[in-house]
Amino acid sequence: MTHDGADNRPIGVFDSGLGGLTVVRELRRRAPGETIVYLGDSARVPYGTKSLATVRRFAREDAAFLLRFDPKLIVVACNTASAAAVDMLAETLPVDVVDVIRPGAAAALAATDGRIGVIATESTVASGAYQRALTAADAAREVLAAACPLLVPIVEEGRDEDDPIVLHVLSDYLRDMQRFRPEALVLGCTHYPLLARAIGKLMGPKVSLISSAAATAEAVCRRLVASGQIGDGSGALQCYTTDDAARFAALGRRFGGCDVGTVRTVGTDELERPAAAAAGDTWENAS
């Protein structure tokens, strides 16, 4: 769907759950005319504790579902899936793919010439993706990455930053990072911006917090401008989840910063279908 030189095909975004809505929030702020189709694979969250092979399979299935809507670009709004599968997706998908790791790493490098810390899921840290992206640009840069496996389920439960459980878990996870004294800390999971105030308080005012969600949205906008694919539509948002749609909608405002509207459920068994869509799966019929 194009008119007046605009490309109003949707942007496809997927994540293991609700966290990718932080990327959607930043995208809608920067590009309000873009239509977005979002898939949150909440039935299989968290990806961060799964094997590499499993995460790659999930990423293939998520991307195949989004291809049914003829997207102009797909955003892998999950750090774990980005680390495990973005190169594979970029090689096999018929559209451009934007991950969250490279934009986050670039933003951290631009923020400081000093030490950089990264907090992320177990799989993301174990992959070494952030460490490689940072040291590839600056081999002498000191980098410390720390896994925070409980933060995703805590955030998905709807707990806020003032919850004693949240503060206790963060204090434990950030102890070594506080000793490391980074000048910038990458929030290497799209769920983590919701805990930014508490993280910032524990790390201190001299540490710049880098949101991979904001950096990714900026990277997407640059890509669309460069390729002449900017949209000027209504800015519609269509959300799908593999779990409880009502719960997704209730928590979606917290992550996305707005009412996410009607949320549709898609079964994990349906994600295993071939990428070729049934007639009723087009964007026009699904919106």
CA 165 to chain centre: 24
Active-site residue 148, yes or no? no
Q: Are 53 and 262 in contact (CB under 8 A)?
A: no
Tokens 């793919």 locate to 97
Choice among 189, 221, 239, 258 that is catalytic: 189
Between helices 101-111 and 129-137, what is the axis angle to 10°?
A: 50
Quick check: 66 and 75 in contact, CB under 8 A?
Answer: no
Does 78 participate in catalysis according to the annotation? yes
Which residue among 78, 148, 221, 239 is the active-site one? 78
Active site residues: 78, 189
